[in-house]
Each structure stands twice: as structure tokens, then as C-alpha cells.
Structure 1
Amino acid sequence: MKALKPSLERQNMATWPKDVGIVALELLVPSLYVDQAQLEEFDGVSAGKYTIGFGQSKMGFCTDREDIISLCLTVVSKLMARYNIDYSNIGRLEVGTETIVDKSKSVKSKAIQVDGGKEAIRLKHLDAMLFHSPYCKLVQKSLARLVLNDYVLTPKNELAAEFPGLENFAEVKLEDTYFDRDVEKAFMTFSKGDFEKKTKPSLFIANQVGNMYTPSLYGGLVSLLVCESASGLAGKRVGLFSYGSGLASSLYSLRISKDASKGSALDKLLSGLSYVKPMLEARKAVDPLEFSQIMEVREKNHHKAPYTPQSSPDTLFPGTWYLDYIDDKHRRFYQRIPLAEQPQIQRLAL
């Protein structure tokens, strides 16, 4: 039988596509924050509990004018506008939320209306390591844990050369280390250099905003991208670990494109994130007492209907979608703060 050449279409399908991955990112943070040193004093806790113990300087928060849906509407709208993407070109929308709290299917229905094994990977193979970040100090411990895992898997005759100063732990068993403070302290000290180089740049936003839960890992990715130059990022291998609420977790890696030239995909991605630092600097500081009062309003009116939010939308960033009111059937109605170049208010009833 004569062998037939594969069709051009089949040949193209068999070719692995180049640089498939993240081509655009949009970050949204609340326009208000509370200083953590002031909050320590207000809460009556020891100085440094939040700023040192959690590694956090500021914490962003929302008033009753914003909810999971308005935040989603805002970030999608800004992403589409910033990258000039037509909604008709979107084939699939995935929404990642804490489903029990946010009801991801409900969120998606509203958002679309806007128009290898452990031995195979080692820390030394990665240029950066990013984590889900409830608190910055926890992330530092997570990196130390990775170093410990590498240590346990290293042949004993190589430990002295690869892990100098840790020879006393040569017989340690991983299952005995979870609550061992001596092991934790030793490996946090040993991994400090790797932490400063590979992980700390990813904590910039976590330090300024606090725990974002589901998107915190990608906040770490944005942090890394806005804290490094294109040439410094080009070609780097980045590890990303996302904790799955105790049931599952995910660890994968990204390779940043080697092309850092003007107009490249990497250059465009970084240019698209140039708003991040100015946005953080444009936030308004709220004193702890006012913060506490705002949180109390949200707590008292949770699931209330009908309801009209009490907070003023004037503190929100331009282009922000916000909750206008909830009717007696629990239907939510939203409005949008106008953009400078688009003065009319866009309305959306959901």
C-alpha cells in the first residue's frame, strides 16, 4: 500500500504551537485600604502582629457598594478595553471563585452579560517560585518547605555540598517535621537567599492589599511581572503553586518568552500592566475606626432585600461597576462610574 502524505491541516495540527499561555492580565484592587500598623493599635494586639507576623503593610477592602459580581464586571470590562478585545472573539469564559461563598455559576452568568511527580521538579530548576498567599510569612515558610523536600530527596553523600550547615538533619523523616520548630527555623534561615531572589518579588501586591483568596496566586504573578524588567524576565522558568482548600492543589510551571524586544508579546504584556503601581498609589487610606464601621454595615445588611447600599460610590476608581440597589426579589442592579474618555454611565440590570 502506498503511504499517503498527511494533509497540510494534519501537519499543522501535529506541530506544537509556540508560546501558548497567558497573553494578558488585569488586576483590580479596592480603592480603599487600612494601614496595618494603625489597625494593630485599634484592635489592641501586639505591635508587629500584622506588619511582621503576617508580613502585611496595608489591607484593601470594599464597602457595601461592591460585591463579587461588581468586581468581576469591572475587571472584565477593563481587561477587554485595555487590550481592545471584541466580546465576540471570546469563545469560553472560566470563572474561578470560592463557590460556596460566591456561587461561581451565578457570577459567570452575570459576567458574560457585560457584552510530573515530586522528584521531577526541584527548586534549583526554577528561577521564581510563586504561591497562594494568605499571608506573606506563610509563603516564606512554604518556600522553606520546598527546600526541605529537596533535602530529604537528596542522597546523603551530597547533602554537605548542596545543603551546607544542615547536616544535623540528615536522618529526619518528612512525616516527623510538620510541627518541628527547629526544622522550620533551620530551613527558613537556609532558604532566605532563595526567598529574597525567587519569591519575595511576587509578594508586592499581597503586602499592599492582603489575602485575595482565589486570585492571590495570579496577584503574585502580576507582582513578579511589574517588579522586573522585560530583559530580566525573558526566558525564566516560574513555578506556581495554588492551595485547594484542603481537598486538592495544583503545581505547574510557566516559561516566560525569551523575546523581550519592543513590540513582543512579553513587552505588550508588561506595558498592559503599567497601571498597577499607580493604581495602588491612588488608593485612599481609611482609619481603623471608619474601616470597622464599614465592615459592620456590610455584616448587618448581608443578604438583605430590598436594600440600597449606604456607602458613597465617589471613592471608587473610574470605570468601576458598583451595586446600585437590590430589589425585593433579590435582583441586583449595577451602575458604572464613568471613565474620563467615556462620560456616560453604562447601566446593567442583573
Structure 2
Amino acid sequence: MRNSPSIGCMYIHLFSGCVGRKYLVMSNSDFGIIALEIYFPKFYVSQHDLEVEDKCVGKYTQGLGQTSLGFCSIQEDINSMCLTVVSNLIRRTNLDLKTIGFLEVGTETIIDKSKSTKTVLMQLFETAGNFDVEGTDTKNACFGGTSALFGALNWLESSYCNGRMALVVAADIAVYGDKSARPTGGAGAVAILLGPNAPLVIDFGLRAVYMKHCYDFYKPNLSSEYPIVDGHFSLNSIITTPWRDTLPKVNNAIDYMCLHAPFTRLVQKAIGWLAMIDMRTEGIIADTLNDSDVFLSSSKAGQLCHNNHQMTSKSEYFDQIDPSIFNALKDYRLLDDKHIPDHQLDTICLKATESLYRRKVDPGLMFVKNIGNMYTASLYACLVSLLLNTSKAELLGRRILMYSYGSGMASAMYSILIHPDRDLSTILNCSLESSNGLSHIHKRLFDERTQVTVSQFELMLKERELSHNSAPFEPTFRPEGLFPGSYYLKNVDDRYRRFYEKLSEC
């Protein structure tokens, strides 16, 4: 399954790339995220129902930490999802498309080896008469969205931006042929509007990239949506990577963490292991703790946030971790003897970091638990979830760690500063302070989706498999599987051209 190697890679690469890449100064324009829009399928199946059907009760809900799985029928594809999420963003923000000069799509869901999804999205720009929009698609497993984001930020800081804004779309459909892997599927899209003077400032003081060649997950069969996966990626290399210089920044300068999240339990394990490493290297952290002050002041927004920031001191940080881990770790010599992680140590680390996980990480996992793996959109769905589930008072002036990982492999870590003086309500078009604590996005997720049985789920997946690359083809129209205002695949003609229509917004 794809997620097994990701566990190792998340542990390994969260630290490795940052060595020697310190405190890059952001420009005075505070480029970052102005608005976010999330889209997920209306159809879903209960993970409990899946584990009952598969005769493994507890494996998906407790073992993976999942509640439900969102999926697309054959009337949705990567183009329709991207059309929907971008059109929703345009409508909600009343966006003038003439102000957009860059649009790039990050995805590994390929339905055409030549034509990009970005060019399909250009249909939305026709009425505005704007065809001067740079960017295409970018692909590397779950890293495509982050690569597109970095490209957009580079364009914003360039001399040819001319005051325009950038759009990035991270979107994927995750499906598996192996029935045992299907509970780790999912689908979703996030549209990101970027520009100057943003409420969410992207600060590359902690930006790091780590890339290497490996075959942990890949899709060489272009006639199928299904991947080939090596589930035996070794965890040993965690101890050989140069992560030490990064630890003080992560521990003491970070208020929240959004990590690439194929499933909930993976993220919990990652946080447990981070804390375990901190315990074993306490002296290293103490020696370099002052780095976090430099890190916080690496940009104009960073200096403002520094004034409001609730800096976690070394003692306060360790107070959040159950002291039982100190005694338990005496039995392990991970750093010295390259001990291979086992279930017992996992359990110790998970228990010891429950409080830390609930405060810094869990608010960002709402979509992961209820939709599943969105591949390249998963990290940005975590960011949306964090903003929706955290009060304004707990967000302003804070810093978010963003960790992106894509198999094959490409990874990066960077941070977002939440500006202390800018309005956050416009990012998602909700106050974050509603009387019942629920936004329109919460209601769509928990009240407005269509649940199907396991047999219906399997039938629709089989239908999707059999119709892949078919032409001419007209999918079954299922309005109960579409939210109002969604785009859907109307038909594919005998020349493989795909045509889309939009469901009424009423």
C-alpha cells in the first residue's frame, strides 16, 4: 500500500533537507495565501461498513484512524473537480479574472498525456478575455501541488508579475485496485489564491527541499488509474539523516503542524516519533534554542508575529509530553544502535504525545478523517481544516509548519505566518467565530453528502475501472452524487475529447 513507505519518508525527510538552508528573507510584499477553496466528492462510504464487509472490524477506524471515505463516480474526473473548485472560488470571492496572471495545477491524476488540466480551466477565463496566464500542470505524486505553489510564489516575486495575482490548484483522485488498499483512497481539490499583503504569509525562513530516486509508489501503466506500490520501505534511514539542526525550529517556533496525511494514524505516528527524537537529543536542542528567535524574525510579517508569539520554552515544550517516555526510551538505543522501530515503541510514543498531537495537529485532520487521501491536495486540506477548527484568537500571529511529501520521491518543508493584523474571514468566507462553531463547509461535509453502501461503492469503482479511457462514452448521470454548482463529465466523443456541464447552483 502506498502509505507504508510514506511513514518512513515522513519521519526521514521532515528534518533532512533543512540543514544549511537557514533564514531566507522574505520580500516586503508579504506574498502568501489570500483565499482558499476546498472541494470534495458528495458520495462517501463508511469506513466501519468497509471493515465489517472485509471482516476486520477496527482496522480502518482504529488502525487507520478513518471515519469515512469520499469517492468520485464516473461522472467526475480531474478536470471536472478542478473546474468546480476554481469556479467556486471565483464566485465566492467575486474574483476579477483579469487580475490573474499565473495558474498552475498540481496533480498525478493524468487523463491525457499531452493536454494539461490547466488548459481546460482556461475556459473559465474566456468571458474575461484574459489569455495572458502563465503556468501549466506539474506532477510528482503528492508533491505536485506544492511544486505549483512554489512556482506561483517565484512568479509573484518576479519582474513580470505586474501586480497580478496567482492561482494554484492541488487536486487528485486516489483509487486502488487492491481491495485491501481501498480504505486509504479518497479524492479532493483545493484552489489557492496567492498575492501580496496576504493574511497567510508564506515565509521561507524554514524552507527546505529533499529529493531522491526511489520506487516506493509509481504508475507506469497508463491504461489504468491504479499504482504499483512497494510497502516495505525501510524506516532505518531515519537515524542516518542530518535532522539535528532543524529540531529547535520545529519544537519551539511552531504553533501548528500540517503534514502530508494519507490517513490519520500515520500523522499521529509521525508526531510521536518527532517527540521521541527530541527526548533523545535534549542536549542538542538546548544548545541551539536561540535559532528560533532568528527564525521568527526572518520577514516583516515574522517580526510582527514575534511580538504576539507564545514562544514555547524548552521546559514548557517537554512538559507537554508524558514523562513516561523518558523511562520507556531507556530500553531503546535508536540513535546509537540503529534500532528498528517496533509496535511497542510506536505505542509508547503515541501515548506520550496525545496532548501535543491534540493541540498542534488534530485540528487540521478533519478532511483526512472524513474524506481520506486527497494525494497532493491532502496537505492543503489540512490547512483548510486547521483554519476552520481553530479560533481567531488562537490563529493570529501564529506559525504553521507545512510538510509536503510525494513518492518517488520529492519533499519540502516550509512555514506559514498568520498575520496578526489582517482579516482571516475572507480566506474561507466564514467568520471562524460562528455561534454554533460550524461553517458552511462543516455542513457540507457532515450534513449534505450522500452515503452509499459497500456494494454500491464497489459497483461504482468497478464502473470507473471499466470505463477508463473509453471513447465514445457517456457516463451515467447521478445528480445525487453532485453538489450544486459542480461540473461533471457530460460525454467523451469518438476523438477522446471531453465535454463538461455545470449543475445548477440552486
What TM-score bracket applies, with the shorter chain setting the length? 0.7 to 0.9
- Identify the range of structure 1 (242-251 vs 296-305) with the bigger mean alpha-carbon deviation: 242-251
Partner of 2:495: 329
| Coordinate RMSD, CA, aligned | 2.7
- Identify the range of structure 1 (174-183 vs 311-320) with the bigger mean alpha-carbon deviation: 174-183
Match of 2:55, as an amino acid? V
Partner of 1:320: 486
Partner of 1:123: 251
Separation of aligned partners in 1, 2:285 and 2:80: 57
> How far does the alpha carbon of each residue in 1:260-280 deviate from its partner, in whole angstroms, 9 at most, with x for none?
xxxx43132243584211211
- Identify the range of structure 1 (202-211 vs 90-99) with the bigger mean alpha-carbon deviation: 90-99
Separation of aligned partners in 2, 1:269 and 1:182: 42
Match of 2:35, as an amino acid? A
Number of equivalences: 322
Q: Could you say which structure has the greater relative contact order, defined with CA pairs below 8 angstroms and 6 or more residues apart?
A: 2
Separation of aligned partners in 1, 2:112 and 2:340: 32
Task: Give secondary structure in 1 for the equivalent of 2:464.
Answer: helix
Task: Give secondary structure in 2 for the equivalent of 1:25.
Answer: strand
Separation of aligned partners in 2, 1:147 and 1:104: 45
Alpha carbons 1:177, 1:183 under 8 Å: kept: no
Task: Give secondary structure in 1 for the equivalent of 2:411.
Answer: strand
Q: How does 1:234-253 map to 2 (within 5 A)?
A: 234-253=396-415
Partner of 2:392: 230
- Identify the range of structure 1 (266-275 vs 96-105) with the bigger mean alpha-carbon deviation: 96-105
Q: How does 1:193-342 map to 2 (within 5 A)?
A: 193-259=355-421, 264-272=422-430, 274-280=439-445, 281-340=447-506
Partner of 1:22: 33
Match of 1:277, as an amino acid? H
Distance 1:73 1:201, change over 3 A: same
Separation of aligned partners in 2, 1:152 and 1:87: 52
Partner of 1:133: 261
Separation of aligned partners in 2, 1:328 and 1:248: 37
Match of 2:96, as an amino acid? D
Per-residue deviation at 1:45? 2.7
Separation of aligned partners in 1, 2:251 and 2:92: 35
2:270 to 142, 148, 161: 142
Distance 1:178 1:98, change over 3 A: farther
Match of 2:429, as an amino acid? S
Alpha carbons 2:47, 2:67 under 8 Å: kept: yes
Alpha carbons 1:68, 1:102 under 8 Å: kept: no
Alpha carbons 2:271, 2:357 under 8 Å: kept: yes
Partner of 1:88: 98
- Identify the range of structure 1 (322-331 vs 312-321) with the bigger mean alpha-carbon deviation: 312-321
Larger Rg: 1
Alpha carbons 1:307, 1:327 under 8 Å: kept: yes
Per-residue deviation at 1:179? 3.0
> How far does the alpha carbon of each residue in 1:277-324 deviate from its partner, in whole angstroms, 9 at most, with x for none?
121121111111111111111111111111110242343111100000
Alpha carbons 1:149, 1:174 under 8 Å: kept: no
Partner of 1:7: none
Match of 1:28, as an amino acid? Y
Match of 2:423, as an amino acid? A
Task: Give secondary structure in 2 for the equivalent of 1:147.
Answer: helix
Separation of aligned partners in 1, 2:396 and 2:113: 38
Distance 1:180 1:48, change over 3 A: closer
Distance 1:331 1:105, change over 3 A: closer
Separation of aligned partners in 2, 1:157 and 1:77: 47
Partner of 1:11: none
Separation of aligned partners in 2, 1:83 and 1:104: 32
Alpha carbons 2:37, 2:428 under 8 Å: kept: no
Distance 1:270 1:317, change over 3 A: closer
With normalisation by structure 1, the TM-score equals 0.84
Per-residue deviation at 1:113? 2.1
Alpha carbons 1:123, 1:146 under 8 Å: kept: no
Alpha carbons 1:122, 1:150 under 8 Å: kept: no
Distance 1:103 1:223, change over 3 A: farther
Task: Give secondary structure in 2 for the equivalent of 1:51.
Answer: helix
- Identify the range of structure 1 (308-317 vs 165-174) with the bigger mean alpha-carbon deviation: 165-174
Match of 2:90, as an amino acid? M
Match of 1:283, as an amino acid? R
Per-residue deviation at 1:123? 2.4
Per-residue deviation at 1:69? 0.4
Which structure: greater strand fraction? 2
Match of 1:242, as an amino acid? S
Alpha carbons 1:230, 1:270 under 8 Å: kept: no
Separation of aligned partners in 1, 2:73 and 2:397: 41
Query: % of aligned pairs identical?
Result: 38
Match of 2:46, as an amino acid? D
Distance 1:157 1:310, change over 3 A: closer
- Identify the range of structure 1 (114-123 vs 323-332) with the bigger mean alpha-carbon deviation: 114-123
Match of 1:49, as an amino acid? K
> How far does the alpha carbon of each residue in 1:49-75 deviate from its partner, in whole angstroms, 9 at most, with x for none?
111111111111111100000000000
Per-residue deviation at 1:192? 1.5
Alpha carbons 1:313, 1:322 under 8 Å: kept: no
Per-residue deviation at 1:122? 2.4
Match of 1:40, as an amino acid? E
Segments of 5+ residues of structure 2 without an aligned counterpart are 1-24, 126-205, 209-242, 287-313, 433-438
Segments of 5+ residues of structure 1 without an aligned counterpart are 1-13, 341-350
Partner of 2:282: 154
Per-residue deviation at 1:19? 3.8
> How far does the alpha carbon of each residue in 1:50-109 deviate from its partner, in whole angstroms, 9 at most, with x for none?
111111111111111000000000001000111011221111012111166776961111
- Identify the range of structure 1 (317-326 vs 116-125) with the bigger mean alpha-carbon deviation: 116-125
